[in-house]
A and B are shown apart, each in its own frame.
Chain A
Amino acid sequence: MSTISLTLPLKEDEVRRLKVGDTVLLSGTLITGRDMAHTWLVKEKRSDVAELLRGSAIYHCGPIMLKEDDKWVCKAAGPTTSIREEPYLADVMKEYGVKAVIGKGGMGEKTANALKEYGGVYLFAVGGAAVLLADHIEEVLDVHKLEDFGVPEAMWVLKVKDMPLIVSMDSHGKSLHDEVADVSAEAFGNIISKQ
């Protein structure tokens, strides 16, 4: 386990070096996306955001944004539950070359296989730590689909600096979430069988 500073866009070999348990400080330009963004990206194969997504990170996050003096300011930006994007994320990685996914709760087998095949990483952000994470956003650069999707679901383009994250699924098939789920399932079985 080590602390690694990374700058977006990421190259495949940088991603392949990451291992479950590593701490990452992420900088560069990323884009937020939730349910509506993922279905939109998969269904419409958008060339207008393709350049932005290549080698970049999708942050599962619906931030609180306020317009102050004609500029968007992010007030709070913690992660949302990633598993909802399980049906789409592998296709987003394949189609757009996204290299990192940031969220909470981890993802399933389809995503784990995509991380292995395309060289990707799942980065865990502390759920609810919305102010802490917002303070690592230097600038709101742009927003896509704000009118159609609304504030929480829009795709916000964010410039971040040293965003603190933990590798919880790597490109070698390891998942911290699966490990914890296995341990707790066994503990649960033992507790219940004692009755």
Chain B
Amino acid sequence: MLRFREDIFTNEVLGLIRQASTELPEDVENALKNALAQEEPSSTANMVLSSILENVDLARKTSRPMCQDTGLPAFYISYPQSVSTLKIKKCVEKAVVAATKKGYLRPNAMSSLTAYNSGDNIGKYIPHIEFTEWLEDDIHVKCMLKGGGCENVSTQYAIPSPGLKAGRDMDGVFTCVMDAVQKAQGKGCAPGILGIGIGGDRTISISLAKKQLFRDLNDVNQCSYLVELEERIMKEANTLGIGPMGLGGKTTVLAAKAETAYRIPASYFVSVSYMCWACRRKEMTFKLDNK
């Protein structure tokens, strides 16, 4: 009989949050280093990217949050049938409270009615936890910390959009994404990573967009249409001249990652989940105790 050790799990989730907050994933750091090599020496873009990379290094070495805005923590959990999701939820909440106390998370959760800040990142519907039952024996946890700045510039379009001249085809999708990048300027902390959700209803679309942000920046989309779209967005977005933090330069976007869902004939949604350069995501697999 496999046993779910709640104390150990809680501690490992705390470690996961700490790592997500303080250690930038290697693929993102490498993309930033490549970007730095592209920018002119002594340009503002060069200075901004150098500061970002220095900050990433300092954060990792001293185990401090690379950015003070640790967002509203979100967790995506796959679990075996034998484990109670109520128990998992309790553990995750405990880990979030502990991570806040230790300064790996800023106390962000506040009431939308009274502005009361709970002080521990626990509140109505917060933290966000999504459960999926699976056939494996272990628990898989994905954690994402996404700050408010880039969440504010994330957006959703319904096409056709006469204003944008965006129709219901890949050109239309492309136009929507470019519009989102152009409107975001530096406010989402460029260079950003774009999660793109195409189709679905409004909820499916934005959720799909956000989940693309877990993808390794170097992976290749399984769908050839989407490979083409992603490459086109990358190429063109980086000619906009917005640059790191919106102060001008060649690097506006580090990656574009798209996925589609089926839709209803009446609707065609395009969602853009904009992630700042501080793309804080981390995953872990927790094995159940077989003693």
Contact = CB atoms under 8 A, between A and B. Distances in A.
Interface of A: 21, 23, 36, 61-66, 75-78, 80-81, 83, 104-106, 124, 126-132, 134-135, 149-153, 164, 166, 168, 176-177, 179-181, 183-185, 187-188, 191-192, 195
Given A64-B103, A166-B44, A180-B248, A130 B68 contact: yes
Contact of B110 (A83, A132, A150, A164): A150
Contacts of B102: 66
B165 to A, nearest CB: 7
Bin chain B's interface residue count.
35 or more
Contacts of A62: 68-69, 106
Contacts of B70: 64
A126 B119 CA distance: 27
Nearest to B237: A191
Enumerate the 4 nearest inter-chain pairs by beta-carbon distance, A residue then B residue, closest first: A150-B117, A76-B68, A129-B55, A128-B67
B241 A187 contact: yes
A188 B147 CA distance: 26
B185 A181 contact: yes
A23 B43 CA distance: 12
A177 B65 contact: no
Given A75-B103, A106-B246, A128-B278, A80 B65 contact: no
Contacts, number: 167
What does DSSP make chain B's interface, helix, strand, loop or mixed?
Answer: loop
Contact of A131 (B62, B119, B165, B240): B62
Interface string B85-128: 00000000000000000110111101000011101000000000
A179 B242 CA distance: 10
Contacts of A131: 55, 58-59, 62, 64-66
B182 interface: yes
Contact of A130 (B66, B107, B242): B66
Given A61-B68, A62-B106, A177-B246, A187 B240 contact: yes
Nearest to A132: B55
A150 B119 contact: yes
A50 to B, nearest CB: 24
A127 B106 contact: no
